[in-house]
Amino acid sequence: MSVPQITALTGPPARAHEAPAPWYRYFWPWLVIALVASAVCASLISAYLAVHTPDAVVEHRDASE
């Protein structure tokens, strides 16, 4: 007795002879890499600005003066 396959929700069975596409052909790895790369670039720009710009001095004055 054979078991019927359910194809309505899962689609047709995958072909055994086809290899999956390499990781660089998908969108999601590139999105993750782009997010990490943008965070690294932003941190490098922030570090550069912190080292090469003078610190602003803010003087505090009381309202009574």
Give yes or no for a contact between 5 and 13, defined as CB atoms under 8 angstroms apart: yes
**37 is a domain residue:** yes
User: Is 64 a domain residue?
Assistant: no
Q: Is residue 12 one of the residues assigned to a domain?
A: no
Residue 1 within a domain = no
- This prediction has a pTM of 0.57
- Asked, for residue 4, whether it belongs to a domain, the answer is no
In a domain, 2, yes or no: no
14 inside domain: no
What number of CA atoms fall less than 13 Å from residue 39's CA on the CB side?
6
Print the domain residue range for 42: 23-51
Residue 41's pLDDT is 98
In the chain, how many domains are there? 1
pLDDT in tens, 1-35: 666 665 555 555 566 678 889 999 999 999 999 99
